[in-house]
């Protein structure tokens, strides 16, 4: 058809010519003439059909032809599809549409044939006088094998068009009958399409829809799908999305699928999905029931159409889509991780998504509710699939129950449970278990019953964005009650604080006289090889030292817990290398103290080593003072060496003494004061243990055992090495002096004996021997002096390096220690590295200069503007200055001013100091002194 809706006669004529040649053979020209004459006599039929089909597209006509041929035989449909594919390859789309439309009306309409009176009999040479146009194409179809043109048109009113000279039907009746036929065909097709949609909604293939077994997507059947126009095909594919999402969701509840969710949380989630699908199945059943009723009742005013089906399935499609999306997020996760994956959707902007995710989360968290109830009330965990965010370790020793038996499983902590709340839940159950299993205390906490009831009735409080719900308040209350109960038992009957104090006194050598007595008594034993020392012998010496250092006369209670511990000895080790003290406690305290035993041993080993070298230096000094009188006969020979020895010994004693003071008082004692304050403020046992760990960490840092200060430990080791060498040198030196002193004494005694005999003197040989011994002694003294100087140089180099490391350390207390060790700047003048601007002394000078300049600047600024502040009255000053006013009364100053300084305290909190500068004769100075 052209744009004016006129028949395209050239195309029609060519088509008829080809049809006649293929179907009639030799008689094709005669048949073509008759058909042409028929069309020429009745052109209205072609014009009519062309006009009614102008808006129809190619796919609609092909679908109608296929339905017509399918009512006769499937072979006709196959032959037509073959010819149609050839037609597609030979013609354009705008040409195929009128051709197909004409063929459809030519095959379907017997009305035109009846009106023309055309009679063709291809099997009879008598001509075209026996039969109608229908019989012509009927006979043609027999010869050619095409069944697509065999159909007798029956009227919808029940009449038939028969005979060679049948009467023509009225044109309006024909149009109405054709429209009625199209409506019936359309309704039948729509019923089939809706049936396919219902099948697809349950994951089943239909006539027009095929499912991809891998992806679950639906697509049009490559044969039957051609019978549908673009509108029906698009609507069908759109509705098939419901089946696609249904297939995705159903995989999560299929035990044979790889997407099946495992564990108790997964089963709870699957239960919610099954409930959703049950409601969905009810909707699909209603659709099927309406379709069956429609097919039985025939045409009706309220037909079930594809568009109405779309309206029915819009909400289920959206719900299934979100269920599939949420389920995909839950794939391959379990327990608390699954709850976190669902919780991400609970605050979605769409109310329907919020409702769905909340229902899924409530169902999935039912196992969490049961686990929390058992844990918070009984301290027990029933978790066969490892889904709870608290993990129980079964292979933990009795001495580590509190620390290691229960711990958080971070990957399973739901996102709606904060870290603070998770730790509180962990401590509650751990405390209940600790009270029952270790402390044998089964006293119930009244709040536990209310907590269990709240968990059973209001689990949704757990994933509330607010932390002030009834559930959170109850958890806080039970946490405080349970923690206080554990703390009271540990600090009360089991005397935790007293044991900590004993460990500080004996393991950290906080009791000074105990360390001195023990060092004095153990020296001879520890000088022996480690393999020759017995632990029982050393314990008796330790017990005696404890009794001597105890204030009370009765047996000290600490002896029940203090014990000697030997480290694993190596070849050549002495008792000093393997000796160590340990503190053994049983029951609940053993559970608490076991993890820190190794830390205490390391701290004791370092402190004991420093105490040992202090003891060595004191011995060197004592021997030096005692030897002054003993070696008086050879004082002239060894006087210079003794001076060097005294100098080096004094330097070493100063360093060791200052280090001991720093460690015992500024490190251990100050840390103990802070720890004691935190113990008094503690609300739970973990607060005490945390404070204790920080206490040990500060000591570990102070005595150079942690990673940040390990370099200082190596520097100290070099200093201790010099002390050890000096001790060995002194022993060898005194042996040399004793031999020389004995030789001289022997020589003098020989002279005295010769006088008694009357020989008076020695012979030349004996005098020569004495002179040679004297020269040898002097040579050895020179060698000893060189060795002593070498030890001193090595020591000073080690101390200089140690002081430099202290001076540049970022730890605030270490530069101060450097200044204390080099109080007279002796090492500073000998090491230019200690004079660089990075050292503490230069930083201190720079701060003093800065404060002085700031004070002068404040004074000059006051003369320009701040003096007016005081002129307004004394009562206004406290409002501006505040409670931290420090009055600096400058002699001779003629200005009044304010200046602010900002500093940090021990807790790293920033505070402001305001300095007031005024004349000393100002009457308000007295008020400042009083305030």
For the residues 426-441, what does the mean pLDDT come to? 86
Task: Please check whether residue 336 is in contact with residue 368, taking contact to mean a CB–CB distance below 8 angstroms.
Answer: yes
In sequence order, the 6+-apart residues with CB closer than 8 A to the CB of 915 are 855, 858, 886, 887, 888, 898, 899, 900, 901
Burial class (CB in 10 A: 0-12, 13-18, 19+), 215: exposed
pLDDT at 106: 66
Give the dihedral sign, CA 723/724/726/731: positive
Comparing CA positions, the residue from 818, 791, 817, 797 lying closest to residue 649 is: 791
Q: How confident is the model at residue 908 (pLDDT cuts 50, 70, 90)?
A: low
What is the three-class DSSP state of 914?
strand
Task: Please check whether residue 386 is in contact with residue 480, taking contact to mean a CB–CB distance below 8 angstroms.
Answer: no
In sequence order, the 6+-apart residues with CB closer than 8 A to the CB of 657 are 614
Residue 723 has pLDDT above 90, yes or no: yes
Residue 729 has pLDDT above 90, yes or no: yes
Q: What residues pair up with 897 in beta bridges, in sequence order?
A: 917
**Cα–Cα distance, 684 to 373 (Å, whole number):** 22
Q: How confident is the model at residue 301 (pLDDT cuts 50, 70, 90)?
A: low
**Cα–Cα distance, 831 to 185 (Å, whole number):** 109
Residue 810 has pLDDT above 70, yes or no: yes
Q: 57-68: per-residue pLDDT in tens?
A: 677 778 778 777
In sequence order, the 6+-apart residues with CB closer than 8 A to the CB of 296 are none
The lowest-confidence range among 96-100, 417-421, 577-581 is 96-100
> Torsions phi, psi of 204, nearest 5?
-110, 140
Comparing CA positions, the residue from 212, 223, 219 lying closest to residue 233 is: 219
The secondary structure of residue 836, as a DSSP letter, is S
**Cα–Cα distance, 164 to 119 (Å, whole number):** 7
> Torsions phi, psi of 93, nearest 5?
-65, -40
Burial class (CB in 10 A: 0-12, 13-18, 19+), 883: exposed
In sequence order, the 6+-apart residues with CB closer than 8 A to the CB of 360 are 269, 272, 273, 326, 342
Q: What is the pTM of this model?
A: 0.63
Place of tokens 């027990």: 380
The lowest-confidence range among 8-17, 190-199, 379-388, 442-451 is 8-17
**Cα–Cα distance, 82 to 11 (Å, whole number):** 21
Which helix (H) or strand (E) segment holds residue 893: the answer is none
Q: Which stretches does DSSP call E strand in 393-482?
A: 406-408
Instruction: Locate 98 and state its tokens.
Output: 């009128």
Task: Please check whether residue 600 is in contact with residue 668, taking contact to mean a CB–CB distance below 8 angstroms.
Answer: no
Comparing CA positions, the residue from 888, 609, 655 lying closest to residue 792 is: 655
The lowest-confidence range among 9-13, 504-508, 896-900 is 896-900
Task: Please check whether residue 149 is in contact with residue 137, taking contact to mean a CB–CB distance below 8 angstroms.
Answer: yes
pLDDT at 676: 93
**Cα–Cα distance, 211 to 204 (Å, whole number):** 8
Instruction: Locate 315 and state its tokens.
Output: 């909400």
Which helix (H) or strand (E) segment holds residue 770: the answer is helix 764-807
Task: Please check whether residue 130 is in contact with residue 117, taking contact to mean a CB–CB distance below 8 angstroms.
Answer: no
Place of tokens 């409530």: 362
Instruction: Locate 899 and state its tokens.
Output: 């200046």
Q: How confident is the model at residue 852 (pLDDT cuts 50, 70, 90)?
A: low
pLDDT averaged over every residue in the chain: 77
Extract long-range pairs of 482-485: CB within 8 Å, 24+ residues apart.
482/427, 482/428, 482/431, 482/432, 482/435, 482/445, 483/427, 483/431, 483/683, 483/684, 483/685, 483/686, 484/683, 484/684, 485/431, 485/435, 485/441, 485/443, 485/445
pLDDT at 919: 47
Residue 854 has pLDDT above 50, yes or no: no
Task: Please check whether residue 389 is in contact with residue 335, taking contact to mean a CB–CB distance below 8 angstroms.
Answer: yes
> Torsions phi, psi of 709, nearest 5?
-125, 20
Report how far apart, in Å, the C-alpha atoms of 873 and of each of 868, 876, 890 are.
Answer: 9, 6, 21
Highest-confidence range of 464-468, 667-671, 824-828, by mean pLDDT?
667-671
Q: 650-689: per-residue pLDDT in tens?
A: 999 999 999 989 999 889 999 999 999 999 999 888 889 9
Comparing CA positions, the residue from 92, 72, 63, 55 lying closest to residue 226 is: 63
pLDDT at 868: 40
Task: Please check whether residue 885 is in contact with residue 928, taking contact to mean a CB–CB distance below 8 angstroms.
Answer: yes
Q: 151-166: per-residue pLDDT in tens?
A: 323 333 333 333 333 3
What one-character-per-residue DSSP string does 14-65 give? HHHHHHHHHHHGGGHHHHHHHHHHHHHH-HHHHHHHHHHTTT--HHHHHHHH
In sequence order, the 6+-apart residues with CB closer than 8 A to the CB of 390 are 375, 381, 406, 407, 408, 409, 425, 426, 429
Q: How confident is the model at residue 38 (pLDDT cuts 50, 70, 90)?
A: low
Task: Please check whether residue 897 is in contact with residue 858, taking contact to mean a CB–CB distance below 8 angstroms.
Answer: yes
**Cα–Cα distance, 319 to 355 (Å, whole number):** 10
pLDDT at 929: 42
Burial class (CB in 10 A: 0-12, 13-18, 19+), 1: buried
pLDDT at 206: 86
Residue 147 has pLDDT above 60, yes or no: no
Rg of the Cα atoms in the chain: 54
- Helix, strand and coil content of the chain, in percent to the nearest 5, comes to 70, 5, 25
What is the three-class DSSP state of 898?
strand
**Cα–Cα distance, 43 to 112 (Å, whole number):** 10
Task: Please check whether residue 546 is in contact with residue 564, taking contact to mean a CB–CB distance below 8 angstroms.
Answer: no
Comparing CA positions, the residue from 452, 456, 267 lying closest to residue 377 is: 452
pLDDT at 299: 59
Sort residue 587 into left (φ over 0), alpha (ψ -120 to 50) or beta: left
What is the three-class DSSP state of 580?
strand
Place of tokens 């203090």: 562
Q: How confident is the model at residue 553 (pLDDT cuts 50, 70, 90)?
A: low
Cα 691–Cα 694–Cα 695 angle in degrees, nearest 5: 85
């Amino acid at each position: 058809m052209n744009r004016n809706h006129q028949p395209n006669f050239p195309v029609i004529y060519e088509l008829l010519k080809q049809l006649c040649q293929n179907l009639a053979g030799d008689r094709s020209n005669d048949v073509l003439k008759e058909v042409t004459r028929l069309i020429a006599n009745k052109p209205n039929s072609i014009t009519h059909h062309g006009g009614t089909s102008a808006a129809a597209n190619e796919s609609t006509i092909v679908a109608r032809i296929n339905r017509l041929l399918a009512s006769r035989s499937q072979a006709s449909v196959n032959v037509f599809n073959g010819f149609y594919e050839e037609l597609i390859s030979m013609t354009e789309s705008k040409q195929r549409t009128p051709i197909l439309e004409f063929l459809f009306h030519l095959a379907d309409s017997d009305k035109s044939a009846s009106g023309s009176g055309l009679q063709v009999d291809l099997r009879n040479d008598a001509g075209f006088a026996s039969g109608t146009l229908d019989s012509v194409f009927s006979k043609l179809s027999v010869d050619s094998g095409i069944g697509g043109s065999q159909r007798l048109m029956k009227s919808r009113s029940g009449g038939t068009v028969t005979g060679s000279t049948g009467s023509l039907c009225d044109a309006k009746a024909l149009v109405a009958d054709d429209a009625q036929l199209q409506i019936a065909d359309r309704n039948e097709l729509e019923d089939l399409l809706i049936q396919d949609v219902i099948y697809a909604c349950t994951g089943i293939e239909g006539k027009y829809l095929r499912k991809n077994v891998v992806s679950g997507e639906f697509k049009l059947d490559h044969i039957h799908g051609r019978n549908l126009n673009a509108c029906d095909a698009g609507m069908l594919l759109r509705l098939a999305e419901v089946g696609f999402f249904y297939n995705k969701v159903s995989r999560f509840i299929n035990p044979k699928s790889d997407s099946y969710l495992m564990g108790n949380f997964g089963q709870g989630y699957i239960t919610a999905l099954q409930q959703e699908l049950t409601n969905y199945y009810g909707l699909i059943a209603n659709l099927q029931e309406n379709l069956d009723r429609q097919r039985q009742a025939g045409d009706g005013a309220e037909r079930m159409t594809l568009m109405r089906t779309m309206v029915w399935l819009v909400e289920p499609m959206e719900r299934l889509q979100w269920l599939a999306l949420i389920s995909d997020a839950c794939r391959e996760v379990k327990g608390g991780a699954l709850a976190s994956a669902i919780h991400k959707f609970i605050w979605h902007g769409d109310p329907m998504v919020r409702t769905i995710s909340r229902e899924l989360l409530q169902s999935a968290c039912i196992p969490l509710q049961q686990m929390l109830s058992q844990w918070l009330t009984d301290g027990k965990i029933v978790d066969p699939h490892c889904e709870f965010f608290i993990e129980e370790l079964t292979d933990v020793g009795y001495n580590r129950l509190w620390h290691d038996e229960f711990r958080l499983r971070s990957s399973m902590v739901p996102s709606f449970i904060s870290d603070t709340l998770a730790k509180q839940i962990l401590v509650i159950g751990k405390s209940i278990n600790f009270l029952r299993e270790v402390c044998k205390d089964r006293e119930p906490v009244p709040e536990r019953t209310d907590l269990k009831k709240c968990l059973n009735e209001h689990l949704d409080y757990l994933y509330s964005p607010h932390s002030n719900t009834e559930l959170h308040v109850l958890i806080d209350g039970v946490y405080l009650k349970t923690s206080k109960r554990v703390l009271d038992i540990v600090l009360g009957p089991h005397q935790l604080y007293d044991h900590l104090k004993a460990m500080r006194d004996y393991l950290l050598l906080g009791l000074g006289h105990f360390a001195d007595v023990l060092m004095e008594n153990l020296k001879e034993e520890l000088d022996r090889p480690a393999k020759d020392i017995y632990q029982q012998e050393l314990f008796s010496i330790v017990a005696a030292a404890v009794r001597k250092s105890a204030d009370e006369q009765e047996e000290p209670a600490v002896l029940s817990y203090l014990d000697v511990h030997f480290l694993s000895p190596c070849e050549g080790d002495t008792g000093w290398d393997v000796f160590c003290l340990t503190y053994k406690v049983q029951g609940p305290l053993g559970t608490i103290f076991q993890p820190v035993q190794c830390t205490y041993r390391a701290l004791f080993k370092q402190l004991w080593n420093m105490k040992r070298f202090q003891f060595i230096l004191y011995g060197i000094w004592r021997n030096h003072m005692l030897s002054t009188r003993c070696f008086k006969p050879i004082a002239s020979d060894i006087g210079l060496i003794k001076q060097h020895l005294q100098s080096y010994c004094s330097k070493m004693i100063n360093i060791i003494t200052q280090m001991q003071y720093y460690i015992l008082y500024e490190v251990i004692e100050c840390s103990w004061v802070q720890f004691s304050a935190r113990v008094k403020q503690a609300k739970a046992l973990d607060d005490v243990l945390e404070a204790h760990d920080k206490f040990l960490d500060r000591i570990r840092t102070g005595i150079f055992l942690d990673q940040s200060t390990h370099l200082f430990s190596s520097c100290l080791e070099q200093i201790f090495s010099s002390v050890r060498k000096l001790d060995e040198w002194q022993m060898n030196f005194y042996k040399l002096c004793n031999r020389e002193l004995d030789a001289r004494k022997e020589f003098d005694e020989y002279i005295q004996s010769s006088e008694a005999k009357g020989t008076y003197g020695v012979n030349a040989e004996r005098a020569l021997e004495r002179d040679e011994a004297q020269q040898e002694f002097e040579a050895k003294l020179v060698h000893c002096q060189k060795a002593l100087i070498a030890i001193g140089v090595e020591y000073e180099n080690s101390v200089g390096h140690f002081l430099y490391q202290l001076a540049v350390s970022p730890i605030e207390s270490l530069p101060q220690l450097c200044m204390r060790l080099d109080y007279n700047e002796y090492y500073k003048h000998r090491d230019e590295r200690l004079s660089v601007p990075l050292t503490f002394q230069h930083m201190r000078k720079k701060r003093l200069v800065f404060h002085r300049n700031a004070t002068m600047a404040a004074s000059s600024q006051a003369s320009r503007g701040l003096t007016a502040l005081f002129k307004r009255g004394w009562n206004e000053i406290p409002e501006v200055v505040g409670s931290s006013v420090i009055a600096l009364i400058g002699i001779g100053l003629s200005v009044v001013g304010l200046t602010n300084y900002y500093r940090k305290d021990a807790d790293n909190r920033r505070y402001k100091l305001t300095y007031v500068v005024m004349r000393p004769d100002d009457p308000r100075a007295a008020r400042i002194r009083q305030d």
